[in-house]
Amino acid sequence: MSGGLGVWQDMEKERETLQAWKERVEQELDRVVAFWMEHSHDQEHGGFFTCLGRDGRVYDDLKYVWLQGRQVWMYCHLYRKFERFRRPELLDSAKAGGEFLLRYARVAPPEKKCAFVLTRDGRPVKVQRTIFSECFYTMAMNELWRVTGEARYQDEAVEMMDQIVRWVREDPSGLGRPQLPGALASEPMAVPMMLLNLVEQLGESDEELAGNYAELADWCAQRILRHVQRDGQAVLENVSEGGEELSGCLGRHQNPGHALEAGWFLLRHAIRKGDPELRAHVVDKFLLLPFRSGWDPDHGGLFYFQDADGLCPTQLEWAMKLWWPHSEAMIAFLMGYSDSGDPTLLRLFYQVAEYTFRQFRDPEYGEWFGYLNREGTVALTIKGGPFKAPGLTAFYCPPSRSQRT
Amino acid sequence: MSGGLGVWQDMEKERETLQAWKERVEQELDRVVAFWMEHSHDQEHGGFFTCLGRDGRVYDDLKYVWLQGRQVWMYCHLYRKFERFRRPELLDSAKAGGEFLLRYARVAPPEKKCAFVLTRDGRPVKVQRTIFSECFYTMAMNELWRVTGEARYQDEAVEMMDQIVRWVREDPSGLGRPQLPGALASEPMAVPMMLLNLVEQLGESDEELAGNYAELADWCAQRILRHVQRDGQAVLENVSEGGEELSGCLGRHQNPGHALEAGWFLLRHAIRKGDPELRAHVVDKFLLLPFRSGWDPDHGGLFYFQDADGLCPTQLEWAMKLWWPHSEAMIAFLMGYSDSGDPTLLRLFYQVAEYTFRQFRDPEYGEWFGYLNREGTVALTIKGGPFKAPGLTAFYCPPSRSQRT
């Protein structure tokens, strides 16, 4: 009897702990959204200021396209999924951001290539030779369609998606990367990972599109899985086109945050497909393995980059702690726990969440710091920058029912 | 009488301190050269391994072209200037490095554009859309000519120099940078700075070439001087083509190490021209000013990047301490002292040299660490990398007679 009571008490305690975390996350989400609502809207030219200092002041009026797309997506997604965010000002701001992207993001329309950064009034400053600006553009357009019902947004999303798939699977020449005889033909994991995310985004509650992309989704998953190398002991960020380990630093490069992010994209895919074997493999290789190797035993937090042989990475920032790998890890572990009920995953969620809320939050001005040094002190005070998006970012995509209000 | 004795004693003490530093620098130079002689030579393909771990082990066999050029230059320069380095193995290695560059550095000969990084056997991996690989190539070829007397090296140096000057002053399109309507037409100080250095390199003891480049030298100096902005209160890394401050982070960006480096290039130029007004201006604006704003009052060492308004830079590594700004500062202050006899400059040399020798040296394996965190602990243990050249680098170019053996 007393054993049964103990179990019941444990469950009750766990329910309370989870409920407390749900409330902390909700409060934090409210503060983060309020910060961007207050400081980032450009009333004159549309779109969002993305370079915000600690107190929200705009320190540069350049507009980074990844972040324009993410903010549109975030506003729409919150509006669509959470009762308390169903506010006209979120929708209006998302639409203004979407119109800014439609008008200015593409460098030479009707070509699809998007800029990486624009001037305040929308002139292109820099173009990346990758697919990522276009991926965030696609996510923004699809969410805009979901909240407004306007077909032109969805047409734009689907057309851009088609272009991205052609770049990745057929002909990358439109991305502008020169072909050099010494450059190894390599696949960064980020590419199939982002593509799988887009498939999930576009396929949500849309059986026809989900069906169209079913083969693509499997292809992405299979491509990501090839990044598990060395008899399953390491996730490598880059592999050869044939799925083999590459030589040198490029081949040994690891990004624990990416592995965890790919983990929850894959887990979502595996859950949708009802594939228990894949679910177990993903938890093992993309959640537990990168966490074990990527978590700093001395100071806590996830390293930004590592070398699979334990050598010193050449990136100056390798040992820094960035906000986003921690957001990805929180989602991944909570999603894994929600799916499997495995208490190990819940404990890891707590471990990451406690570090994250303690180290990245700014109680004084709101929002999160993005960049800590190895020891956990703030290295950059900016709240938004070329890559720094709203804190708690990935939580905007609620990983389980328990996260929804 | 006792006052006179005190002055004499002070001078004697200073002479001893300087002599002690001269010996420390010589010993360090010997250790650094021994490290690269032992670990970096590729006997099979020629050229130098540039990715060396703490103990000298090759962790990647990619060959970075900046560093190939610098190592050729360094070996030749030491051979030419210092009796104790006049060793056949230095000359042979320099020639092997030079032949590797001649054969492989250019991406599509007879075009002049050089790769940034090559495979071990010389195939291009990456090309930068700047002039710097070509600058280091030119320096290497000119020094090779000086030690061997072989005209083909000098022909190559002069032809490449002509191309660089055309890229900078006439038509940059061959560098491959896209023209985007939102990109500010800006001049990085590094460009006229490196060009001035090349002019000094090629013009050394060569009155005809020095004469040919005299107008170019003045143009470079004048361009560098335009980076002193805000009523003489800040050296800014980027200015407009018209010499005005640019808006945003790009305009406020500061690189104290570059300012100090430009300082000693300018000082050398001013000394050669016999221009006392320019000498005083350079000491004030390019030596004292960047040191005062760039030196970390809490932990010592020069910050890598700063924002002229004191805002937080967006580069993750902004607060790190890199070896090369400290080498540049040591040269700049010693050259300034040697020229003017100003004891302030000597004291600053001591301050930088003490920090540098204490923090960057690796007493265990030799050579220098390249990258410390803000507090001065080692962040990356590599001794060579994509940008990490031999420690003490700039000392290879002896700034005054007192440095020569």
Residue B182: left if φ>0, alpha if ψ -120 to 50, beta else—which one?
A: alpha
**Rounded (5°) CA angle B300-B301-B305:** 125
The b/e string for A355-382 (b: 16+ C-beta within 10 A; e otherwise) is: bbbebbbbeebbbbbbbbbbbbebbbeb
Residue A316, pLDDT > 70, answer yes
pLDDT at position A57 = 98
pLDDT at position A397 = 43
Determine, for residues B51 and A386 on separate chains, whether the beta-carbon distance falls below 8 Å: no
Q: Residue A126: its chain B contacts at CB < 8 A?
A: 180, 183
Q: Residue B53: its chain A contacts at CB < 8 A?
A: 311-312
Residue A137, pLDDT > 90, answer yes
pLDDT at position A398 = 37
Q: What is the mean pLDDT of residues B19-44?
A: 96
pLDDT band at B400 (very low <50, low <70, confident <90, very high): very low
pLDDT tens, residue by residue, B368-394: 999 999 999 999 999 999 999 888 765
The answer to whether B42-174 and B185-360 have equal CATH topology is: yes
A348 CA: distance to closest CA in chain B (Å):
27
pLDDT at position A403 = 32
**C-alpha–C-alpha distance, residues A253 and B60, integer Å:** 12
pLDDT at position B4 = 76
**C-alpha–C-alpha distance, residues B294 and A385, integer Å:** 23
CATH architecture of the domain formed by A185-360: Alpha/alpha barrel (1.50)
Residue A394, pLDDT > 80, answer no
Instruction: Fold for A42-174, please state it.
Output: Glycosyltransferase (1.50.10)
Q: Choose from B59, B322, B377 for mutation: most chain A CBs within 10 A.
A: B59
Residue B103, pLDDT > 60, answer yes
Residue B399, pLDDT > 90, answer no
Mean pLDDT of chain A: 94
Domain range list for chain B: 42-174, 185-360
pLDDT band at A73 (very low <50, low <70, confident <90, very high): very high
The b/e string for A21-48 (b: 16+ C-beta within 10 A; e otherwise) is: beeebeebbebbbebbeebbbbeebbbb
Q: What is the mean pLDDT of residues A197-212?
A: 96
Residue B397, pLDDT > 60, answer no
Residue B136, pLDDT > 80, answer yes
pLDDT tens, residue by residue, B66-84: 999 999 999 999 999 999 9
* pTM, full prediction: 0.95
Copy the structure tokens of residue B170.
Answer: 């006439």
pLDDT band at B405 (very low <50, low <70, confident <90, very high): very low
pLDDT band at A123 (very low <50, low <70, confident <90, very high): very high
How many residues does this entry show for chain B?
A: 405
pLDDT tens, residue by residue, A246-279: 999 999 999 999 999 999 999 999 999 999 999 9
Beta-strand runs (E) in B76-123:
117-118
pLDDT at position A184 = 87
pLDDT at position B193 = 97
β-pairing, A306-307 vs A253-254, is antiparallel
Q: What is the mean pLDDT of residues B272-300?
A: 97
| Dihedral (CA of B171, B177, B183, B188) sign | negative
Determine, for residues A314 and B374 on separate chains, whether the beta-carbon distance falls below 8 Å: no
Determine, for residues A314 and B380 on separate chains, whether the beta-carbon distance falls below 8 Å: yes
| Residue B246 DSSP symbol | P
Residue B366, pLDDT > 70, answer yes
A interface with B, Cβ–Cβ < 8 A, is: 51, 53-54, 59-62, 107, 115, 118-119, 122-127, 178, 180-184, 247-249, 311-314, 316-320, 371, 373-374, 379-382, 385-386
pLDDT tens, residue by residue, A2-24: 567 888 888 899 999 999 999 99
pLDDT tens, residue by residue, A101-120: 999 999 999 999 999 999 99
**Contact by Cβ (8 Å): B217, B193:** no
Q: Residue B374: its chain A contacts at CB < 8 A?
A: 373, 379
pLDDT at position B390 = 87
Determine, for residues A125 and B182 on separate chains, whether the beta-carbon distance falls below 8 Å: yes
Residue A282, pLDDT > 90, answer yes
Copy the structure tokens of residue B176.
Answer: 């491959």
Quick one: how far is CA A242 from the chain centroid? 26
A125 CA: distance to closest CA in chain B (Å):
4
Mean pLDDT of chain B: 94
**Bridge partners, residue A253, by sequence:** A307
pLDDT at position A5 = 81
Q: Residue B371: its chain A contacts at CB < 8 A?
A: 316
